[in-house]
Structure 1
């Protein structure tokens, strides 16, 4: 196979000089929206999910599409380039540029109208696909294409890239589902476009003006190149590369809307879109087929596709092996049939019987053949969901695999005719081998011949970058030889634009350039993408010139070779932290809608802070105010550690940053008040009554809050008259302890503020046959010092704790921790703070929750509760400890449970810190508070976390129970006592935000 040298792109024009300060001033004066030219915003938007990085001039977040149009007008007056951005998950570099970035996702996300009879809707470009389909749910209709980023990708981004996803097998690409677009050109022309028949064209031509001029020019360009367009455009389901000018060919519908889909913001700005909708399948069935290897699976695709499935996806043994290595989706992986390559085939139906019948018909067709696959009919909805997550997690699963080189996009989504897929994969594997890229996994939308892969390119040395470029040339030649497309889903951007001449030839490329000139003659619309492109090896996020700092750090980062820089690089831009439902991540993004306050945005700023590029807008290193401000709204919930496919742990990164940022400097007042809470609590225990009296006296309380940096609207917690640990040491252990000894950890919150919970736990444990002991002296896990970045103190506190607990740890005694955040420190953070301490490892392994201990107690059964309950799992339960055991125990007790997702919003010191109240309550309003308002007065409220219980009481006026309290109360029948649980009411604390009162009186549940 010969080496390909791509036809060089025409030289790019010199960029016009833009007076950035004047541009910023005029945008701020004229645009209804947020105009941001600050270093933090520019750093957060400097890249997307690709290999590329370009620092924007600034960012505009318009509140309306009219405001966006005005922003374009201001940019035109200053000759400033414009780049549109939705979810920012693009994998080819389309949504980063040295331009004014218009972020549509925060405000321009309306579902404008729905016409159920016509099966259509009108949307603004910032609406997220899953959110659109949720809003359409009552109609029984949905938008058909469904990329794996469906929880965070916007319709504007899907239109820009011509996105597809797995369901495109049945519903086609985004272009196939767009009816009309309202567009804006750089010169200010605004119009609706769509199919233009001859009669409509005559009327448009007679009317004249810029719309007629555009249509006339396009008709001429395409007619002049029609023969070559027909010859060079591959007739395959997944041709996404290039402009869709085949939609403008003579004799066709001349559909300008579909022609503009996939143009990546290089031609027009899309203001609104009219979309075609399809009925939501009433039922679905999943069939798993196991083949000898992925090539054999690909060879089977045409036969299976003839059965018209909804989805036909492929997964190879490497991807499955990487997910196993990363402990992802273990239950789903256990359901895979025997094989080394798998096809996932789903069928829709009006009934489950119909969907199942179609699956069985395929199974019958495949039996008895020469290459009959191993088959698994999946009839468990939970397993089915996990299997689809296994497939959709492909990017995250292959991006950072332990013991393997890092992988990157670059040849991420090539596509060939489905009937030739097997041969293409054989040749692609040979090419991988020639370049030493054998670790690359293969997966994707096999029913349409689209292949996803991430490849271990070396993008940090000159030799590695040269090999990267050489591989792309060879891969380009390969896919073209198969009659395929460079891109089958994610577009060209900068990753493939320079290769397009090899696919389309000089005449079609000339047509592309002419089309670009019709809409954007001065190349101001997302320049350097698709035509007149930036070279593939320029603007790399890494590159041979990348020289990041490698600072000394306080945490161990054992999963990242002890490197903070490698830890930050975990973020690959998939944007799952921008999802609106499910899991916990990222509560501050869900509350604010801000890129800078997403996990990804913060990771980008930390990347910029490490100073690997000379043009980084983020300066000052650890002292950077931009990074400090972005991290200020991080709730340290650890949701990202669990929900992010790359396990980005922003809570740890925040603590690391704060440790360096405030080293040798005066800290915020909250770091001294709440960061040192264990010390103040110990002192308060000497005279709790007097402390409570002073802390709640009107004038003194206000002064204490101001002095301590505490939110004025929050009532200070009340200290218990007697600490649990003091009373228990006087009481001493009781019972025979036939089940052994357990050390009950008296955390600061339970010990000093809610000793009733520990007392309830003792009762439950002794009833279960355990002998309960407590530490001989006051100890601490160091949580409050860790969360405020006082890591030196945290390390000393933890070392003291380990010294005292050592005899128990070395004898294997379980350490029961009732407060989830403290349990998470023992199970997770302690090993990072003290990475070489064997007792820290023992502590992590022996730390248990109440539910875990009881579930492992043979012969113990929970008392009957038989009640409705709303539960708020603590974020650290979700992220580190797991909540399934609690769920199972409660179900066994007869609890009809609704576990709320998301974060309560208080999150340790976060919700108590002055200035955080609005965001704190917005987090609670996302899922928790609506669930509480919907719950009846007899519904129990459960929350093991002190923060969660406090937020529930402050914002909803209800009393939440710890699991220990619930079990103890059930033993005594208190759940049936109207004087105890539930039914006691009171006037709740009314917290107010800048938007007004956050809650109204609600019935609360009282434990008696």
Structure 2
């Protein structure tokens, strides 16, 4: 007997994994790290999968299902993993379609249809359809990451469902596979359905037809339950629409044919303000008479939370007076038509007492206002004035004309259960309300309270003729409550349908039919007792608990978007769940939970997941709930390598401030060695650096040695110009340029005479004890300036971000650390805030700026935009994601391909497309280094250099 056969006999899962690896060309992962990354979705639930299969093609999935059938293993298809009701986590083999199965098979512009594989994300598909001036109608708020397959599984909707309906309304045909191996294309009518299924399904529909007609609420947003109403003769007996929303419990979807809609020629947005959310809901029928394309509501509580977390500041300032608002979108063939429809609404409704209104028809302002609505989950998950909130009753729907009365009763129910001032918002035009509620899911009493509330809420919704789910599906949160909505006969019909398509209950078991209890499998629950390790960072926004920080992710998957913002560059390149911010957060949670990953800080699974984290900090600003994976990575690395050898790059790149200081006296010799081809490659390998990277050249004279200051009149006061490692040792001309600009603006410029450092490279490599020592020394050197309130101008964005963010969290409680955080300014910030009347020199022509990731995350670019506007420049701030170098990351061996792919994704193409006369602006040393490496002709410059050159041009 072979060893392999013996292993299969003794270990059934190992045998299944081996058979899957033999059968599919994609990836098969039954390791702890992969299972941890897929242990939950955006819900309250957790279930460790048996393993993960990443099919390369739909045929791969067919092979995987056959192997699972042979081993009698449960199966779950997963798209973006953003489900809020628990339908995307199960103790099953998970098929993750999102990495490879993203093809657009066909587009028929005349018929307005497309055939796609299920793993393609909605935004990516719509980008592919843009040349045809077509799009998919439904658009959930997770459009950057939700996949078409996931939308089909959940019958997703979004704000645009007001005009275009649910996903079921967009599906024309589906190619499906049953667990038993029956493969077919189905659509309207039952002619495509396998004969073994056709007659029994028809019998079920015949026997329960009257129950279906009576028991299904006739509202726009009935998402709960199976779509048995689509099988009625009067509805065309549409098998494809029936299967939409079945949450992977009946079939596996291999491909989908979708109906498309024309992109609107123009849109206009009317925003109405009301005294309260109930008045806004009462106005919905009057607004609907104007046939809007979208009708969304939000209350004052949501706006307060967004304001406190600065999620949608620009949008909030645009809202008309009121304590609740309706956002009403109108489409038109041109802007005049869209505007006219919006003005008609405003004229009709604002004449009523207490209603205010504005018209918005500028795309940028419209996008800002929609961002306020889409930021709802992020704003409400962790309110600063209360406990964390949860899904569990977040998307019920009622008839739109009864929405106001329903909300009044629902609010009374919230008060009775002492759940406080939960925010109410959502798709008011279709009666669908979103909210997150502060359920206590950690104690037996709190969980029992949650269960009772859910049952009473279900009864309330049914009394209003509504649906338990209006968008997110049933999953585990609501499936147990379906008998309250549908009654026993229809629930029996659901069971018969399930038994027909999946007689062994192998497809996503425990969801919809024979569901697991709504209070079972909770990610927290009464057994929740995570490990609370000692940490270097204070994690003040998480109650000083690393376990809370690691559990902060709520799973909405924004980190899996293909473009826009910075987060998450490694996911954009790899399309791997474990290399997304969310996937890494899941592994950290499992590490602290200790069941699946039980070796704590020594975990190789967590280390490997964090290895491709660029520490760009993009998630700190782009993540709706402020997950800060760069900080988590630094904390993990500090403990993982405690007391043992580190990767060589940690000693070379991590200690570069020290090596730079030591190299200064012999910099010509060092440069000669590091740039002699054979020697350079040997040194790179010895230092853990990729030999394809050219090491930066040292300057002949450091800035601190050549600066002759203090200089300047001091009209606007004294400033400290921070001599960061990169400007001081490698590009001192930048620091000299900054001194010239500050002097011209009327500042008295001083530079520390003793060696100082922000500790960035030690932080990014997780050498936090050393970073603390470096930072304490820096505070001692800066003490006089800190006591005097002197601004500190920092030219390198990553160093400024350390002072603003990392420093006060590493030295929590040190008042000088907090003073330095408050006194740190970028060059643009200082010039605009402390010398607003100073007119900068004229900068002519186009300027293309690549914001440093840390600046994007912690500092912002508003001051830079204002400064260059004042200089008369035609400035474009790129939204091209991370440059990919990210400090030491892009230099380290094993990271080169990912680093370059990040830059080639959007940044380098954008620079290549720029006009020849365009100035390229990049304040980050990493950004400039990467651009010079990949596109030498671009010649990137720092803001200080551009302004100083303009000053020289203006000199007489």
TM-score by length of 1: 0.92
> Which of 302, 307, 311 is equivalent to 1:319?
302
Tell me the residue number matched to 2:7: none
1:495-525 deviations in Å (ceiling 9; x for gaps)? 1111111111111111111111111111111
The aligned runs of 1:172-183 (5 Å cut-off) are: 172-183=165-176
Tell me the residue number matched to 1:891: 869
Cα shift at 1:300: 1.1
- The 1:316–1:736 alpha-carbon spacing in structure 2 relative to 1, beyond 3 Å, is closer
1:355-391 deviations in Å (ceiling 9; x for gaps)? 111111112222444x551212224433321211111
Q: CA separation in 1, counterparts of 2:913 and 2:171?
A: 38
- The 1:368–1:754 alpha-carbon spacing in structure 2 relative to 1, beyond 3 Å, is closer
Q: CA separation in 1, counterparts of 2:234 and 2:847?
A: 63
1:753-774 deviations in Å (ceiling 9; x for gaps)? 1111111111111122222110
> Which of 27, 38, 57 is equivalent to 1:64?
57
Describe the SS at the equivalent of 1:972. helix
Tell me the residue number matched to 1:412: 394
Tell me the residue number matched to 1:726: 705
Q: CA separation in 1, counterparts of 2:924 and 2:350?
A: 54
Q: CA separation in 2, counterparts of 1:868 and 1:903?
A: 22
Tell me the residue number matched to 1:990: none
> Which of 373, 381, 386 is equivalent to 2:363?
381
Tell me the residue number matched to 2:4: none
**1:572 and 2:554 aligned:** yes
> Which of 604, 612, 627 is equivalent to 1:625?
604
**1:255 and 2:255 aligned:** no
**1:158 and 2:151 aligned:** yes
2:350 and 2:356 in contact (8 A); partners too: no
1:414 and 1:485 in contact (8 A); partners too: yes
Describe the SS at the equivalent of 1:71. helix
2:724 and 2:758 in contact (8 A); partners too: yes
* Structure 1, 627-636 or 856-865: larger mean CA deviation: 856-865
1:439 and 1:456 in contact (8 A); partners too: no
1:223 and 1:250 in contact (8 A); partners too: no
Tell me the residue number matched to 2:635: 656
> Which of 613, 626, 649 is equivalent to 1:634?
613
* Structure 1, 863-872 or 521-530: larger mean CA deviation: 863-872
Tell me the residue number matched to 2:372: 390
1:87 and 1:152 in contact (8 A); partners too: yes
> Which of 685, 705, 717 is equivalent to 2:696?
717
**1:845 and 2:822 aligned:** yes
Cα shift at 1:18: 8.3
Tell me the residue number matched to 1:736: 713
1:142 and 1:278 in contact (8 A); partners too: yes
> Which of 909, 920, 942 is equivalent to 2:888?
909
2:614 and 2:884 in contact (8 A); partners too: yes
Q: CA separation in 2, counterparts of 1:141 and 1:702?
A: 51
Tell me the residue number matched to 1:337: 320
Tell me the residue number matched to 1:222: 205
1:429 and 1:438 in contact (8 A); partners too: no
Cα shift at 1:338: 2.0
> Which of 937, 942, 945 is equivalent to 1:962?
942
Q: CA separation in 2, counterparts of 1:910 and 1:343?
A: 46
Tell me the residue number matched to 1:423: 405
1:232 and 1:504 in contact (8 A); partners too: yes
Tell me the residue number matched to 1:865: 843
Tell me the residue number matched to 2:921: 942
Cα shift at 1:833: 0.8
- The 1:290–1:251 alpha-carbon spacing in structure 2 relative to 1, beyond 3 Å, is closer
**1:798 and 2:772 aligned:** no
Cα shift at 1:691: 1.0
Q: CA separation in 2, counterparts of 1:383 and 1:278?
A: 24
* Structure 1, 335-344 or 377-386: larger mean CA deviation: 377-386
4+ residue runs of structure 1 moved beyond 4 angstroms?
none
2:397 and 2:466 in contact (8 A); partners too: yes
The aligned runs of 1:729-878 (5 Å cut-off) are: 731-856=708-833, 857-878=835-856
Q: CA separation in 2, counterparts of 1:642 and 1:283?
A: 30
2:267 and 2:361 in contact (8 A); partners too: no
Number of aligned residues:
944
Describe the SS at the equivalent of 1:51. coil
Tell me the residue number matched to 1:74: 67
1:18 and 1:79 in contact (8 A); partners too: no
Q: CA separation in 2, counterparts of 1:968 and 1:340?
A: 49
Q: CA separation in 2, counterparts of 1:342 and 1:865?
A: 42
The aligned runs of 1:441-590 (5 Å cut-off) are: 441-590=423-572
Tell me the residue number matched to 2:183: 190
Gaps of 5+ in 2: 1-9
Q: CA separation in 1, counterparts of 2:354 and 2:674?
A: 75
Tell me the residue number matched to 1:147: 140
1:546-601 deviations in Å (ceiling 9; x for gaps)? 11111111111111121111112221111111111111001111111111011111
Q: CA separation in 2, counterparts of 1:156 and 1:274?
A: 11
1:163 and 1:490 in contact (8 A); partners too: yes
Q: CA separation in 2, counterparts of 1:681 and 1:806?
A: 25
Cα shift at 1:233: 0.5
Tell me the residue number matched to 2:3: none
RMSD between aligned alpha carbons?
1.5
